[in-house]
Amino acid sequence: MARPIRVEFENAFYHVTSRGIERRSIFLDRNDRNRFLFYLRENMQRYNIIMFAYVVMKTHYHLFIKTLSPNLSRFMHDINTSYTVYFNKRRNRVGPLLQGRYKSIIVDSDIYMLELSRYIHLNPVRARIVVRAEEYMWSSYRVYLGKDEDQWIDTSWAKEKFGRRWRARYREYVQQDVTIENPFDGLKAGFILGSDSFVDEIKSKLDSRHIDREIPASKKLTGLTLDKVIKETCKYFQVDRSDIIKRSRGFLPRKVALFLVRKLTQASIGEIALVFGIEYPAVSKAVRRIHNEIERNEEMDRIINDLESKCLCL
């Protein structure tokens, strides 16, 4: 399964979601939800995060936040790790609780602030848990209506947007159409929600400091080609291209090049098979075999990460 791209920078707006493994329930009672919100507030203070909207459902949660520093990954890691440890200890279980890594989308707040907050607050209504959004206790919507007092929710943008009687006007906006289309249908490159100019701005921030190098979606933005990766691998190992192309499958530079070509470029399996002189099905088998070796071998993992960084800095 493709992992979502991570781009971190100052004053970035994100929609973040994480759900239970195999879509299982991860919030079973009031205590679970309260503990999760405790970890959320605690780490918001630690990492200087601004929260605009949230909802905690039974199998997943949504957050709409702003990071004042480029620290989204650390913030989310601490929240999810803390909650998983709590959940497992409370229920005497072991193993992962959440389905892989969290998913994050960079948001153009100038366009999607209202729409995204409404989408989050209407989650319980669309799931038919409640008839009206304010009946649900585990979201930030009641704060906007003045029914709850949570100082850690930033509603100042709504006040500025709607002016006088802003609470009533925000409620009217949310309730005007509970069957709204999913705003994420407009995603670009799988992780950006915004205008074309906003997408260009985000692309300009994609460098070796911000990009998660394990993400297939990043292939569309790095511009790496099969030939570039092979050339950089030759340089790294001080071997000729013919060595990588023609040597046996156990030859380390060949294994590394094949793995990174599949991981970092948009080259098709057929193209890779042709260049490396192997059968079409052998490409996927080779990638899986190398991936397993990386997990077992720390030196192999170090080489892959080192060379990957060099390729992405080209």
Q: Are strands 49-56 and 103-107 parallel, antiparallel or unpaired?
A: unpaired
Q: How far apart are CA 26 and CA 22, in angstroms?
A: 11
Two domains, one topology: 12-204 and 223-312: no
Contact present, 300 and 250 (Cβ < 8 Å): no
List, for residues 102-138, the tens digit of each pLDDT value.
Answer: 889 999 999 999 999 999 999 999 999 999 999 999 9
For domain 223-312, give the CATH number.
Answer: 1.10.1750.10
Q: What angle do CA 233, 236, 242 make, to 5 degrees?
A: 50
pLDDT digits (tens, 9 = 90+) for 222-280: 567 899 999 999 999 999 999 998 878 789 999 999 999 888 888 888 888 888 888 88
Task: Give residue-wise pLDDT tens across range 287-303.
Answer: 888 888 887 788 888 88
Is the pTM above the cut of 0.75?
Answer: no
Residue whose entry in the numeric block shows the structure tokens 């943008």: 157
Question: Which of 185, 192, 176, 174 lies closest to 114, judged by CA?
Answer: 174
User: Which pLDDT score, from 0 to 100, does residue 257 have?
Assistant: 92
Q: What is the rounded CA–CA span in Å between residue 216 and residue 218? A: 5
Q: Model confidence over 72-98: pLDDT tens digits?
A: 999 999 999 999 999 999 999 988 899
304 and 213 in contact (C-beta within 8 Å)? no
Q: Comparing C-alpha atoms, which of 226, 283, 49, 288 is closest to residue 153?
A: 49
Q: Residues 39-47: what's their mean pLDDT?
A: 94
pLDDT at 223: 66
Question: What DSSP designation does 50 have?
Answer: E
Exposure of 84 in the CB half-sphere (CA atoms within 13 A): 18
CATH topology of domain 12-204: Alpha-Beta Plaits (3.30.70)
Q: Which pLDDT score, from 0 to 100, does residue 282 have?
A: 86
CA dihedral of residues 120, 126, 131, 137 (deg, nearest 10): -40
- The three-state secondary structure class of 60 is strand
pLDDT of residue 213: 44
Sheet holding 60-67, edge to edge: 49-56, 60-67, 12-19, 103-107, 192-193
Least Cα distance to 15 among 83, 89, 109, 86 occurs for: 109
Query: Quick one: pLDDT at residue 239?
Result: 93
Can you give the residue ranges of every domain in the chain? Answer: 12-204, 223-312
pLDDT > 50? residue 208? no
